[in-house]
Amino acid sequence: MAHVHSKEKIIEAEQTLAKMAIVLGSDHLDKVFAAFQLANTAAASGIETVIYFTIWGVNVIKKGEAEKLSLSSDYSRYQERLKKGMEETRSPSISKMIMDAKELGIKFLACETWMALLGVKKEDLIEEVDDVVGYPTFTLIAKDANLTFFI
Amino acid sequence: LSKGITADIVIDVLGYMCPVPLVETKKALRKMQVGQVLEVIGDHSASLVEIPNSMRENGNEVLAIEKNDGSKWHMFILKKK
């Protein structure tokens, strides 16, 4: 995991068209899938993209968790249908989407406060995470984003 | 294949839906040199609009699109930057 602390170092801007900041606060399969569809589309379109994993989103970047995600209990009746649909449409797994995201240069930031609230240590996180930061740092990074999403 | 265009790299995204064809196209282009040609083979119809739009915005050029086999298409992209 890279340990960089200034905004300038976290965002090594290539030539980019715009900037997208996504706050992922969920570990539900549908939302995580949609977040990576959005992020990877943006990055593939030349948009500089950052994902901030906070609240339950912290679970997504814990080692070994990406393939264990499920739907919220409100939608659990759709779980089998969605899994079948993802197979039928040859949708990438969450692990594959994480690899693609990194290959496209998407920055992964983990929320320090929610890691502490949930008892998650730095060594519990996957190596694709670029840094562990607080909300103030993420705010600095996101303040000049043209596109922001809370998922 | 198309108008004498020779591809340096070919990727196959047959059967994949949005955003996979665009993501794989971009991943391939990142590894290529300026001046090289990428051939993308796919069958997701939305990509025929989405990939050229993205290439235009990012300064690359779609040289040709071939469609002569059902929904299957071949797209030739010149990496310009």
**pLDDT at res. B68:** 83
Residues of chain A with Cβ-Cβ distance to B16 below 8 Å are 90
Where b means 16+ CB within 10 Å and e means fewer, A19-32 reads bbbbbbbbbbbbbb
Min CA distance, A123 vs chain B (Å)? 29
Pair B12, B76: CB distance under 8 Å: no
- Which strands, in side-by-side order, build the sheet including A147-150? A131-133, A107-111, A48-53, A19-24, A147-150
B24 is catalytic: no
ipTM: 0.85
**pLDDT at res. A148:** 95
Q: Which residues contact A131 (CB under 8 A, 6 or more apart)?
A: A1, A2, A3, A4, A5, A10, A107, A109, A110
- CB-nearest to A90 from B15, B23, B30 is B15
Picking from A66, A101, A44, A116, the residue whose alpha carbon sits closest to that of residue B47 is: A44
Of residues B14, B17, B18, B46, which has the active-site annotation? Answer: B18
The pLDDT of residue A24 is above 60: yes
**pLDDT at res. A12:** 44
- CB-nearest to B19 from A44, A90, A103 is A44
> Taking the alpha carbons of B73, A89, A69, A42 in that order, is the dihedral positive or negative?
positive
Residues of chain A with Cβ-Cβ distance to B11 below 8 Å are none
**pLDDT at res. B2:** 64
Confidence of residue A15 (pLDDT cuts 50, 70, 90): low
- Interface check for B34 against chain A (CB to CB < 8 A): the answer is no
Contact between chains at A17 and B57 (C-beta distance less than 8 A): yes
Which residue ranges of chain B lie beneath pLDDT 70? 1-2
Secondary structure (3-state) at B67: strand
pLDDT in tens, A83-138: 999 999 999 999 999 999 999 999 999 999 999 999 999 999 999 999 999 999 99
